Chains A and B, each alone.
Chain A
Amino acid sequence: MSDLLDVQNLSVRFGVRRKGGFFAKPTYLTAVDDISFTVRKGETLAIVGESGSGKTTAALAIARLVSGLTSGKILLEGRDLLPLDREDLKDMRQKVQVIFQDPYSSLNPRKRAEDIVREPLDSLTDKSISEKREIVDGLFKAVGLHPEQKRLFPHQFSGGQRQRIGIARALSTQPEVIICDEPVSALDVAVQAQILNLLRRLQTEFGLTYVFISHDLGVVQHMCDSVAVMYMGKIVEHADRLSLFNNPLHPYTAALLSAVPSVDPMLREQSRRILIPGDPPDPLDLPKGCRFASRCPVAEARCRDVAPRLKLAGSNHRAACHLVEDETSPLAGIRS
C-alpha cells in the first residue's frame, strides 16, 4: 500500500528566554530535530520515548497544533500540511484529528457530550442540523455509548466513557489520520484494554491510520505495525513491530524493552534489566555526538564526537548507532 503520511525532516523549535527577563537573548529549544518517517494507509505507527523526548510535539506538529517554529515537510496524500493557510487548514483538519491524553481535561466541562462530539462538524463542515444529529448518534453507538447519554455533561461520565467521547469527536469528520496522544495512559488498566480494543475495531471498520504516541511498550506491542523510538528529539530506531521487539538494535531501545515487566516467570529468568544511569542531557545544551552517549553502556570515543545518522540495518529496520552492524545490537554480547 502507498504511504498516506510522509514526514520529511520535521523539526520543531521553541524560543525560550532564560534568566535576564525581557532583554535577554532568546535561545531555542529544539524539541524535534530533523525526523522523517512514513505511515501507510490503514496502519499504525507508534512513536515511543520517555517524557521530553519530543514524541508528543512531533505528533501534534502533524496536526498543526504546536506553537513553535516548524520546518520540514508533512505530506498527507502528497500535499504539504505545513504551509496551509486558514481555508486549506479547515480541509486538512477534517482529515487529521487528535485523541488526547487526559480525558479529564480534553472535554470542555461546560458543554454537553453531543456538543463536544459535534464541534468538528460545526466548525469544519456545512452539514445540516439533522445530518449532524444523525452522525452524532451513529458515533455514540460506534464508540459504545448510549445515544441517550448525549445530553449529559463530561463530569457525569467515567474516565473510560470520557475517552470514548473524545474518540467519537475525533471520528466525526471521517478523518484519514488520527493522532492518538497517549490515549490510554490516564486510564485504569482494565479500561485501557477496552479502549485499545475499541481503537483497533474502529481502525478496521473505518480504515483509519493511526500515529500512536506512547511510553508504554506493552500498549505499543498490542497496537502498532511499526515503531519509531525517540530520544531527545531524534528518532534513534525505526522498525516493524516484530523486528523491533524481537531484535532491538539501539542500546536505548534494548534498555527500554528490558524494562517492560513480564508475567511469565520463564521470560523473567531469561531477560536481564539493562540499566541506563544518569539523566538525559540538557535540551538547551545538547552534546555534539550521540545524544545517548552519556548514558550508553557501550559508548565509545567516536560516539561522543560524531552524531550517528539513522541508517538501514536490516530490512525495514533503521537505527542511529555507530555500533550497530548487520542486525546485531552492540549489547548482544553483554545481554545474555
Chain B
Amino acid sequence: MMTDQTIDPPVAKARSPLSEAWEMFRHNHSAMVGLGLLVLIVLAAIFGPLLYPTDPFDMVWAPFSPPGEEGFLLGTDYLGRDLLSQILYGARVTLIIGLSAAIVTVVIGVTVGALAGFYGGIVEEALMRFTEFFQVLPTLLFSMVIVALFGASLPMITFAIGIVSWTAVARITRSEFQRVRELEYVMASRASGASNSKLMFEVILPNALPPIIVQSALMVGSAILFEAGLSFLGLTDPNVVSWGQIIGSNRQYILESSFTVTIPGLAIFITVLAISLVGDGLNDALNPKLRKR
C-alpha cells in the first residue's frame, strides 16, 4: 500500500515506562542503598530464625547481660531472654504488620479515592466527607480504642492501623483520578467502547499508580512506627514478639541497661529509613515531572 512519506526505520527495542523507571531508580544511589538494606532485613526476617533457632521467649541467661558477653551477640533483656533472637523473630511480625496494614490502607484508600475521583458530583462529596471524618479522628486514640475493644490480636492490630491511615491514600488517588480522567486517552477508550469499570481499573488506575505506589511504600514505614507505638503502650499480642513490644517491655530499665531499648529502636529506625529511601527513589523514578530536577 502507498504511503505518504518514508518513516524512520523501525526502532529495535520497545521500552515500557516501567523499564525506564527502573533505569532511573538504578542510578539513584540512596534509593539503591535503601533497597539493599531492605533486602537484607527481609532476608533476616525470613531466614534468621532458621539459622538462629533460639526461642525468643526462653530465659537463657541472667537478665541485662550486655551485648557480646557469654556468646549473646546482642545481650539479654530484663527476663534474661536472648535479644538477637527477639530481634530476628520480631522482624517477621513487624514486617508482616507493616506490609499488611499498608495493604489494608491501599485497598480502602484506592477504592474510596477511585470512586470519588471517577464519578465526581454527589458520590465524591459523600465519599470525601466520609474520608474527612476519619481524617479528624485522633489516630492513635482511635486505634487504641479498636484494639482495646476487640482484642490485641495481630489481624486486629493490622486492621486498626489500616483504618486510621487510609485517608492519605484516598486523597492522593482521588486527585490523580481527577487529573487522568480529563486526558484524551480516557475519552478515546470510552469511544472505543470501554465500560466504566474498565476505564477505572484498566485505563485510569495504571496511569494514576505512581504516586499511590510511593505513598504505599511510605505507608509500610509509618505502619511499622504505628505498631511500635501501640506495642510500647502495651496494646499488643503477648504471644508474639515485635520490635515495639521489646522496647515497651524493657522501658522501665532504660536508665540501667539502655541497650535493651536502643537495639530494637535502631532496628525500627534502620527499617523505616530504608523504606523511606526506597519510597523517595520510587517517587523520583515514577514521577516524570520531578525527573529533571
A: residues with CB less than 8 A from B are 22, 60, 63, 65, 89-90, 93-94, 97-98, 100-102, 105-110, 112, 119-120, 122-124, 141-142, 144-146, 148-149, 151-153, 155-156, 158, 161, 166, 169, 194, 197-198, 201
Contacts and interface: CB of A to CB of B under 8 A. Distances in A.
A142 B193 contact: no
A146 B6 CA distance: 10
A100 B4 contact: no
Given A145-B7, A146-B10, A106 B194 contact: no
Given A90-B193, A124-B192, A144-B7, A106 B1 contact: no
Interface string B1-33: 111110111110011110000000000000000
Given A106-B188, A144-B4, A146-B9, 14 more contacts: A93-B191, A98-B188, A98-B191, A100-B184, A105-B185, A106-B185, A142-B1, A145-B7, A151-B14, A156-B11, A156-B14, A194-B4, A197-B4, A201-B2
A200 to B, nearest CB: 10
Interface of B: 1-5, 7-11, 14-17, 125, 183-185, 187-194, 198, 203, 206-207
Given A107-B185, A144-B7, A153 B193 contact: no
Contacts of B16: 110, 153
A119 B189 contact: yes
B184 A106 contact: yes
B10 A148 contact: yes
Dominant secondary structure of chain B at its interface with chain A: loop
Contacts of B3: 141, 144
Contact of B192 (A22, A101, A169): A169
Closest 4 CB pairs of A and B: A123-B193, A106-B184, A148-B10, A144-B3
Contacts of A142: 1
B1 A141 contact: yes
Contacts of B15: 153, 156
A109 B207 contact: yes
Contacts of A119: 188-189, 192, 194
